[in-house]
């Protein structure tokens, strides 16, 4: 993404000022202290889409007036991921998904739950600030989650002119595509596949995050397979399964919600470095949370 002239001028000023301060023996980092709230304000004015309310993009834990020592992006702020960020000195956590196990992050009946309390106590003890950034990062055009996932799979520049969520890839089979995706995303057990292993694949609908029925129905007619994050089994999954019986066989590869969104949050870290140059910004990837036993052969689903 091209940095604006204002941002470029700011970076030049910070660089020259920082050098002068170092020569004078002044702590550069402390001179340019800013708070989590100021960082978020900068993100809001720079994201490139109108800020809307209500939104899930808000502070979920910690004090917004905390001085930022570093920024960590992640798909899901699990306790192990928070520990890694804190140990690396990254105290502003920018997360795509909820932190406290539901959409609103309100603990509700879990307010006295030991797991909830352990996470909250860790955040408080390490003076972390957690801010969710999903609605507006996903609203950018082209969609950052789609393009980043496609790029990770080696498909950058192959998007369809008429539909940037559909990618034209070298002709392959569903089985070969499954292997390619598993290797590129380092999947352990979270992948599931629908469709014949020999199904020819030329066009892929890239659908990270939640894969709903409406987008599947709308887009799958122009694709051979949907590369899905988290589809509902009684909606998009059943629809794709029924395409074969309806005479237009399609496929689905579900990789899991968090895995499908991690490339997008890595892209978010790269973007944040351009607007928060005063502090280090790193992406922390949790990887596939699942494991599975070795399956010698895929079972065949039988119709009643």
Question: How far is C-alpha 236 from the chain's CA centre?
Answer: 21
Nearby residues of 164 by Cβ (< 8 Å), 6 or more positions away: 142, 143, 146, 147
Rounded Cα gap, residues 256 and 214, in angstroms? 19
- Residue carrying the six token digits 């969520």: 165
Alpha helix locations (H) across the chain?
A: 5-23, 28-31, 36-46, 79-87, 114-125, 144-152, 174-185, 213-220, 238-245, 257-275
Q: According to the model, what pLDDT value does residue 212 have?
A: 95
Q: What is the pTM (predicted TM-score) of this model?
A: 0.86
Q: With contact defined as beta carbons under 8 Å apart, do 76 and 286 qualify?
A: yes
Rounded Cα gap, residues 122 and 115, in angstroms? 11
Q: Which CATH architecture has domain 144-255?
A: 3-Layer(aba) Sandwich (3.40)
The fold of 33-139+269-283 is: 3.40.1390
Rounded Cα gap, residues 69 and 78, in angstroms? 20
Domain with CATH 3.40.1390.30 in the chain: 33-139+269-283, 144-255
Rounded Cα gap, residues 144 and 77, in angstroms? 19
Per-residue pLDDT of the chain (304 residues; tens, 9 = 90+): 333 444 444 444 344 434 433 444 434 344 469 999 999 999 999 999 999 999 999 999 999 999 999 999 999 999 999 999 999 999 999 999 999 999 999 999 999 999 999 999 999 999 999 999 999 999 999 999 999 999 999 999 999 999 999 999 999 999 999 999 999 999 999 999 999 999 999 999 999 999 999 999 999 999 999 999 999 999 999 999 999 999 999 999 999 999 999 999 999 999 999 999 999 999 999 999 998 887 544 445 454 4
- Rounded to the nearest 10°, the torsion over CA 108, 114, 115, 117 is 70
């Amino acid at each position: 993404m091209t940095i604006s002239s204002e941002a470029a001028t700011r970076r030049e000023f910070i660089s020259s000022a920082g050098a002068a301060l170092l020569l004078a023996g002044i702590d550069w980092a402390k001179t340019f202290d800013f708070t989590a709230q100021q960082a978020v304000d900068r993100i809001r004015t720079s994201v490139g889409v109108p800020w809307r309310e209500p939104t899930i993009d808000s502070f979920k834990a910690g004090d917004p007036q905390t001085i930022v020592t570093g920024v960590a992006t992640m798909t899901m702020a699990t306790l192990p991921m928070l520990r890694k960020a804190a140990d690396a000195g990254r105290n502003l956590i920018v997360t795509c998904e909820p932190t406290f196990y539901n959409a609103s992050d309100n603990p509700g009946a879990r307010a006295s739950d030991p797991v909830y309390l352990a996470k909250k106590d860790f955040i408080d003890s390490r003076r972390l600030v957690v801010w969710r950034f999903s609605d507006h990062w996903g609203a950018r055009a082209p969609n950052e989650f789609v393009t980043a996932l496609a790029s990770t799979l080696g498909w950058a520049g192959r998007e369809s002119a008429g539909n940037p969520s559909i990618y034209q890839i070298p002709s392959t089979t569903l089985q070969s595509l499954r292997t390619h995706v598993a290797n590129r995303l380092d999947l352990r057990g979270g992948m599931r596949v629908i469709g014949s292993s020999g199904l020819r694949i030329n066009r892929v609908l890239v659908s990270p995050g939640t894969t709903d029925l409406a987008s599947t129905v709308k887009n799958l007619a122009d694709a051979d397979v949907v590369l899905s994050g988290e589809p509902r089994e009684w909606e998009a999954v059943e629809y794709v399964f029924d395409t074969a019986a309806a005479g237009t066989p399609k496929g689905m590869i579900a990789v899991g919600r968090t895995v499908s969104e991690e490339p997008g949050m890595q892209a978010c870290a790269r973007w944040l470095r351009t607007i928060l140059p005063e502090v280090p910004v790193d992406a922390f990837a949790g990887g596939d949370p699942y494991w599975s036993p070795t399956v010698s052969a895929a079972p065949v689903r039988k119709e009643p």
